Homo-oligomer: A and B are copies of this chain.
Amino acid sequence: MERSAWIGLAAVMTRLPSVLDSELKAATGLSQFEYLVLARLSEMPDRTLQLKNLAMLANGSLSRLSHVLSRLESRGWLRRCPLPDDGRLTVAVLTDDGWAKVVASAPHHLGSVRAHVMDLLSPTQIRQLRSITRTLMPGLCDTAPPVP
């Protein structure tokens, strides 16, 4: 039973991201990770977040984030600023164009997530899923991640 549970999880873990990614890319041109970066910024009080924290919230490495920020910055969706307080730290700030891009993209993202996940699960299964992921997360992070 363990085996079939694992095989199922492995299959979902590899196929679901690729399905969501290609649907979002077809609709908006954004990858899942790019969308997550913009969306996380858009949720911050000043649309601003330090890169290290942004990387954590977007489930990516700092290196990957840096490469992606270069692309997003060149499209005018955000800009990077060193913090005056401490010159070692950098924050990303979402621009108005970036905000507009998130607003235009969010429905497509939500639609895919609903169609492939949320609409298929019962309220009970959704509760179970949340409990399961909360159980697994601590073992997957060096720094504890904020799961609301």
Chain A residues with CB under 8 Å of chain B are 1-17, 19, 36, 59-60, 113, 115-118, 120-121, 125-137, 139-141, 145, 147-148
Contacts and interface: CB of A to CB of B under 8 A. Distances in A.
A147 B17 contact: no
Q: At the interface, is chain A mostly helix, strand, loop or mixed?
A: helix
Nearest to A5: B130
A139 B59 CA distance: 24
Given A1-B127, A16-B13, A17-B14, A7 B148 contact: yes
A2 B118 contact: yes
Given A11-B59, A16-B140, A145-B11, A6 B118 contact: yes
23 contacts: A1-B126, A1-B127, A2-B126, A3-B148, A4-B130, A4-B147, A4-B148, A5-B118, A5-B129, A6-B113, A8-B129, A9-B129, A9-B133, A10-B36, A11-B140, A11-B145, A12-B136, A116-B140, A120-B136, A121-B135, A125-B128, A128-B132, A129-B132
